[in-house]
Amino acid sequence: MPWAGGFSAIDRKPLKPEVDIMTTKGILEIRNLGKAFPANGRKGSLQALDGINLSIRPGEFVSIVGGSGCGKSTLLRLISGLDDEFQGEISIGGAPVRGTSLDRGIVFQDLRLLPWLTAEANIALALENSGLSKADKRQAVAEHLKLVGLEKFAQAYPHQLSGGMSQRVAIARGLVNRPGLLLLDEPFGALDALTRSRLQAELERIWREEGITMILVTHDVEEAVFLGDRVIVMEPGPGRIRRELRIPLPRPRRRSDPRFLEIKEDILREFTGPETAEAESLEPAGRPLAEARLDWAA
Amino acid sequence: MSRSALASGSSIRFSPRPFAAGRAPAPVRILAGLVLPSALLLLWHNASTRGWAPPQILPAPAVAWSSFLDLLASGDLRTHVQASLIRVLISFALGSAAGLALGLAMGLSRRLDDLFGAVFHGINQVPTLGWLPVLIVVVGINDRLTHILIAQAVFVSVAINTQRGIRQVPERLVEVARAYRLSRTQSLRKVVLPAAVPQIFTGIRFGLANGWASLVVVELLVGSEGLGYLMSWGRQAFQLDLVLVAIVAVGIIGWILDAGLARLEGTFTAWRTGEAAA
Ligand SMILES: Nc1ncnc2c1ncn2[C@@H]1O[C@H](COP(=O)(O)OP(=O)(O)O)[C@@H](O)[C@H]1O
Ligand SMILES: [Mg+2]
């Protein structure tokens, strides 16, 4: 497999000297978080998130599942510091999150590769202010291209890559500067099943070896259970936490394990039970309900 | 992507996307492009041989052609072309440099945009030659007049389009720059300018085309050299063949100037066709 070389091959270097390490070593605390967007045309506003409480300890892997429009991407944006306008508190190690930090990485749902940069240059963008030497940057980029199996595509532009390849470039860009906290917004959505399960295993390994705190938003309940120490189930209108469960299974997990299947079924019931209709009817107008159901078809 | 596909070649070549897939081969395209000019030439030929228009007004193509050869041989054509080109290039260089600087400033700073934006959009509504009467009064009828007028045309077009290009950079990409904490210079270089290049070039190309066309008009009135002067002189001497030669020269040179800029733009946007710049 192209990325079978794995992550252990990568030398760990002291990265991001200007970053305050203390902030990421502490607990991520989210208190009473709310976010409203000005509603278009209608009076009032759209409450995308309401009363979110969550604490995540350093090194934890938290999966977030929920249908479209329940505020998952919004939540990640707020944690990343890209959006400072919200109600409530977000802090890491007691220090409020204000603005972005190289120590809080994000893999965007819509990837956001720069069309005029090659795959290689897109990944290198994350290292621009890492403080690494030119040679070290080049090496880190090459190793991460290899990690996601795209070393032959280093010089390709995004429009020359398939959806799955672009997604892998985005993942490599998120990982390359070793943030203390990595936010992943449906990072495996466009991948075929085989590639997806390989990258899931690879991500788990990086998480284990590097001790990076990870928050993964996904549509795939199986993926959430496979990777998460905890699974947070969200619901829309306004976006809030519906349920939270700890996944007590030892790692590496087996998808065929009866306990694994049981947990998965349990979570899936949240979306197929009698309450589903109500939950979906709370979705913002304009979003087809079928979309939310289809999300779970896989 | 399959493993075997990767293993088979040591490196994968990225051929340009077949954007031009639906287009005919080059010789056919060139022939197609010649259809209309040939038809016009034929019409012109018929008009003069059948006496549709008196020869003083419409000289035969052969006459125009021999005038062209005469102008070429005497070096007059060269003198006039050179005079016009030097004027336009000096004005273009000044106008586009200043336009880029101000456009960047207005694109990056709301405050500057508030200060200058409205004025610029107002000025942009006035045709270049609309300033001629005012400028004649202020600087007189001389080469400075030409330079100022043309530079102004290029300047306004470049400034407005540069500002617009920068404002239109997608927020989602600007956020990438923020997420990786790029400095102002870094995000300008990696994100903002590449995104704005097409719009900036729209301004530059429009400015040059407009400047070139205006130059010829100004030369009709000002100076003793240049293609516009050649036209004006030909008209006064009732040598319409000279006027026709000058018109064709203006058209061809304008086209070449724009093609040069298009090519320059192509080097900045090579990524679209996959030819790595690095
Ligand atoms: N920039 C924005 N402006 C207005 N509304 C927004 C914006 N971003 C998200 N929303 C709204 O907030 C809600 C949550 O969106 P999002 O976080 O993208 O959901 P998810 O990622 O769970 O699908 C949706 O109703 C969406 O329309
Ligand atoms: Mg989302």
State pLDDT tens for residues B155-191.
999 999 999 999 999 999 999 999 999 999 999 999 9
> Ligand 1, residues A37, A215, A283: which to mutate, most atoms within 8 A of Cβ?
A37
* Topology of the domain comprising B60-277: MetI-like fold (1.10.3720)
Cα distance between residue A127 and residue A142, in whole Å? 12
Q: Which amino acid is at A79?
A: I
Q: How far is the CA of B277 from the centre of ligand 2 (A)?
A: 34
Give the residue, A17 or B143, on which the prediction is more confident.
B143
Give mean pLDDT, residues B5-21: 47
Cα distance between residue A165 and residue B38, in whole Å? 51
pLDDT at A273: 62
- C-alpha pair distances (Å), A113 with each of A185, A206, A226, B177: 14, 22, 28, 11
Helix axes B76-108, B110-125, angle to 10 degrees: 140
Give mean pLDDT, residues B261-266: 94
Q: Is the pLDDT of residue B278 over 80?
A: no
Beta bridge partners of A95: A92
Q: Is the pLDDT of residue B2 over 80?
A: no
Cα distance between residue B25 and residue B39, in whole Å? 22
pLDDT at A9: 33
> Ligand 1, residues A35, A65, A68, A74: which to mutate, most atoms within 8 A of Cβ?
A74
Task: Please enumerate in sequence order all residues whose Cβ is within 8 A of that of A54, keeping only pairs 6 or more positions apart, or say none.
Answer: A28, A29, A30, A33, A62, A232, A241
Spell out the domain ranges in chain A: 27-103+213-298
Cα distance between residue B54 and residue B33, in whole Å? 30
Cα B30 to its chain centre, rounded Å, is 22
The highest-level CATH class for domain A27-103+213-298 is alpha beta
> Two tokens at A141?
């980029």
Q: How far is the CA of A74 from the centre of ligand 1 (A)?
A: 6
Inter-chain residue contact A155 with B1, CB threshold 8 Å:
no
Interface with A, mutate which of B14, B197, B200, B201 (most A CBs under 10 A): B14
Cα distance between residue B121 and residue B132, in whole Å? 19
Chain A residue nearest residue B175, CA to CA: A82
Contacts of A101 in chain B (CB under 8 A): 181
Instruction: Provide the pLDDT confidence category of residue B45 given band limits of 50, 70 and 90.
Output: confident
Largest CA distance in chain B: 77
State pLDDT tens for residues B95-132.
999 999 999 999 998 888 888 888 888 888 888 888 88
Name the 3-class secondary structure at A215: strand
Contacts of A100 in chain B (CB under 8 A): 178-181
> Two tokens at A110?
């819509």
Give the residue, A78 or B29, on which the prediction is more confident.
A78
Give mean pLDDT, residues B36-47: 88
Per-residue pLDDT of chain A (298 residues; tens, 9 = 90+): 333 333 333 333 444 444 444 445 689 999 999 999 987 766 668 899 999 999 999 999 999 999 889 999 999 999 999 999 999 999 999 999 999 999 999 999 999 999 999 999 999 999 999 999 999 999 999 999 998 999 999 999 999 999 889 999 999 999 999 999 999 999 998 788 888 988 899 899 989 988 899 999 998 999 999 999 999 999 998 999 999 999 999 998 999 999 999 999 999 998 876 554 444 333 344 444 434 333 443 3
Give mean pLDDT, residues B51-71: 85
What is the ipTM, given to two decimal places? Answer: 0.81
pLDDT at B12: 53
pLDDT at B87: 93
pLDDT at A1: 36
Range picked from B11-15, B21-25, B204-208 for highest mean pLDDT:
B204-208
Of the partner residues A100, A149, A153, the one whose CB lies closest to the CB of residue B179:
A100
Give mean pLDDT, residues B233-237: 88
pLDDT at A7: 36
Inter-chain residue contact A115 with B276, CB threshold 8 Å:
no
pLDDT at B117: 83
Q: Are A182 and A215 in contact (CB under 8 A)?
A: yes
Percent of chain B with pLDDT over 90: 47
Contacts of A1 in chain B (CB under 8 A): 3
Mean predicted lDDT score pLDDT of chain B: 86
